[in-house]
Amino acid sequence: DSGVTQTPKHLITATGQRVTLRCSPRSGDLSVYWYQQSLDQGLQFLIQYYNGEERAKGNILERFSAQQFPDLHSELNLSSLELGDSALYFCASSVEGSGAFFGQGTRLTVV
């Protein structure tokens, strides 16, 4: 158990819809990262938040957004969903000087 909690574990939704994925980082970790793993791709970095502020942005589509709340949990919002958005979405958290610890992921299926 990495200490990073993601909900829900599975999500099935239709094209055009909007979903919210939730992540609770390890206790004490200020940084939260979101990654996407598609079938034919490795883990792709999407976005990082540090203590409520956006810190770094990767290959995140404009239809996607994220935020980190005062209690440090984070949400990833995916809108106008397309079939190609079907993937595993991982959240990770870290503290300075350690590696990033990943949650179990949310498997999103867009039908």
Partner 1 sequence: DQQVKQNSPSLSVQEGRISILNCDYTNSMFDYFLWYKKYPAEGPTFLISISSIKDKNEDGRFTVFLNKSAKHLSLHIVPSQPGDSAVYFCAASAKGAGSYQLTFGKGTKLSVIP
Which residues are near partner 1 by CB under 8 A?
A: 2, 4, 6, 31, 33, 35, 41-45, 48, 50, 55-56, 58, 90, 92, 94, 99-105
Q: What 3-state class would DSSP assign to 100?
A: coil
Q: How far apart are CA 42 and CA 71, in angstroms?
A: 30
Least distance CB 111 / partner 1 (angstroms): 20
Least distance CB 74 / partner 1 (angstroms): 14
Least distance CB 88 / partner 1 (angstroms): 9
Least distance CB 108 / partner 1 (angstroms): 14
Instruction: Tell me which amino acid residue 9 is.
Output: K
Q: Which is nearer to partner 1, 85 or 93 (CB)?
A: 93
Q: Which is nearer to partner 1, 7 or 44 (CB)?
A: 44
* DSSP letter string, 1-53: --S-EEE-SEEEE-TT--EEEEEEPPTT--EEEEEEE-TTS-EEEEEEEETTE
The burial of 51, by beta-carbon neighbours within 10 Å (0-12 exposed, 13-18 middle, 19 or more buried), is given as exposed
Q: Which is nearer to partner 1, 30 or 79 (CB)?
A: 30
